[in-house]
Structure 1
């Protein structure tokens, strides 16, 4: 029987994730302690988003959700605490930020926070928080016309990968005498165990408890899987292996690993690691 093997929340885009035993699933993605996936994002002086693609060190920024603050630590830096409460309307500072082709309003965090990130990454940058009135919608070309909101994720509210897919990739790496990769290199929100390798590609729906999750678009891979997520150091990339069998014409030959997904039903259901999952294939 397939099971929900892991849940991961990424409070700050492209920084480390938080492994959870349970999470609330919403149309905009996973949520825990009222904090949404990719609710914060690092931007440059022009408001353009920064990621591990250009700044691998971001992987080593580790978040922790406290009672009233998001706590961040990074190598060589003092701990940073960011209040979880939204700013008073009279004190809020709004900026326009850009994620791929979307421009949206966001809260600008304070100068201390900007200095912390700028010092660590070695470039002028700021931390911003998704604004409740901002609107980003996943491409309806892939969602079948369903309007699925997302925050600062690359384009979809969730990423689903099966454990079987990683096991298959690691077997191919081992055959070449290369080290296995952990799942965190691929930064999924949801991992399903007990199904075949790449079966998520063909899933019409994945039902966990009362939540119905629909994989909609193969996830094309960039250089991030080559980055050690515990140190931020760049190492050997698995893309050469994936090139041999995971180039997907549906995404213009991109190397697919995992499926971007949306929520079809069961909003605000609690997902728990170890729950049974029902995977319905689309054919």
Structure 2
């Protein structure tokens, strides 16, 4: 039996996440997840790929979404906490997310000044507008805010344990779960090994083959494997890029049939509902892993 062991919301795309014991899963993912985004003055989204200091910004959003707090610290000292009244009535502006045009609601000059100072480059903050109608593609399509693709990223501790074992064999240090920025982390009391037998949901990378999942009061549908990028190289506590791992090790055994290094899976929301740490994760339908080569150990 697998269970939810962590729920993480990232209110501002690219910034730090907040662990929660309970969360509302909306049609577009965890409530307020990636509902804000930092952009350049010409509307291009900012990412840890080029601005790793985003990881040091810790956002918090009120339950009703009307207040946003930005907090951050670096080796020069602590920045003043910024508290904002979120606006949904300000003029829309064009934003660019991976080359696709969307709209964002600018959150004002105070937020822009705070972010520009911390990141060291002119930046602004936008919010997803209520009329945002983005549909992320995949085996199961569904609404998404400013996430890279589908609304929910799910990853198991068993998958991370296998990766860390393979990295240790190469002499590389183990990595924490936050390198991969999942929304839902699952774990099982079964032995985390391909030779363990028993419940298939206990095996590493079971999320690759899970096509329909019931968890808490919600249901998820598999969209695609999570293709990994240079964000996984960023130490989330330091806000700095570190070495070639985990991409070097992942490339040795985790390549998608369609191309790219993959780890974890993306899901769309079929049925919204409440999620809690401890909820049982029931896999209702299985499929085949879309990998070039399946791991053998």
Shorter-chain TM-score above 0.5: yes
1:79: which partner in 2?
A: 81
Deviation at 1:93, TM superposition (A): 2.5
1:266-277 map, 5 Å: 267=272, 269-277=273-281
Correspondence for 1:189: 183
Once the 2 structures are TM-superposed, how far is the Cα of residue 41 of structure 1 from its aligned partner?
Answer: 0.2
Match among 268, 274, 277 for residue 262 of structure 1: 268
Q: Is the 8 A contact 1:6 1:192 kept in 2?
A: yes
Quote the Cα distance in structure 2 between the aligned partners of 1:223 and 1:238: 9
Alpha-carbon shift at residue 66 of structure 1 (Å): 4.6
Matches for 1:200-239 after TM superposition, within 5 Å: 200-236=207-243, 237-239=245-247
CA distance in 1, matches of 2:7, 2:155: 11
After superposition, where does 1:30-179 map in structure 2 within 5 Å? 30-31=30-31, 36-66=32-62, 69-75=67-73, 76=77, 77-84=79-86, 86-87=87-88, 89=89, 92-139=90-137, 142-144=138-140, 146=141, 148-179=142-173
Structure 1 position 83, deviation (Å): 1.3
Q: Does 1:248 align with 2:252?
A: no
1:31-85 superposed Cα distances (whole Å, 9 cap, x missing partner): 1xxxx1101000111101010000000000011235752111112421111214x
TM, length-normalised to structure 1: 0.90
1:180 lines up with 2:174 in the alignment? yes
Q: Give 1:276 deviation, angstroms.
A: 1.1
Is contact 1:107-1:129 (8 Å) kept? yes
Worse-matched range after superposition: 93-102 or 114-123: 93-102
Q: 1:183: Cα distance to partner?
A: 0.5
Aligned length: 267
CA contact (8 A) 1:160 1:215 kept: no
Q: CA RMSD in A?
A: 1.5
Alignment partners' CA distance in 1, 2:253 and 2:15? 29
Q: Secondary structure at the match of 2:24?
A: strand
Paired with 2:135 and 2:285, the residues of 1 have a C-alpha distance of 25
The answer to whether the 8 A contact 2:150-2:223 is kept is no
The CA deviation at 1:209 is 2.3
More off after superposition, 53-62 vs 169-178:
169-178
Tell me by how many angstroms 1:202 deviates: 0.4
Point out where structure 2 has 5 or more consecutive residues left out of the alignment.
Answer: 189-201, 288-297
The 8 Å contact of residues 172 and 241 in structure 1, kept in 2 or not, is answered as yes
Give distance in 2, aligned partners of 1:226 and 1:282: 31
Report the CA distance between 1:14 and its aligned residue: 0.3
Alignment match, 2:20: 20
Q: Secondary structure at the match of 1:74?
A: strand
- What TM-score do you get using the length of structure 2 for normalisation? 0.86
Q: CA deviation at 1:103?
A: 1.4
Instruction: Structure 1 unaligned segments of length 5 or more: list them.
Output: none
2:193 matched residue in structure 1: none
Helix, strand or coil: the match of 1:204? Answer: strand
| 94-103 vs 221-230, greater mean Cα deviation | 94-103
Residues in 2 aligned to 1:102 and 1:156: alpha-carbon distance in whole angstroms: 15
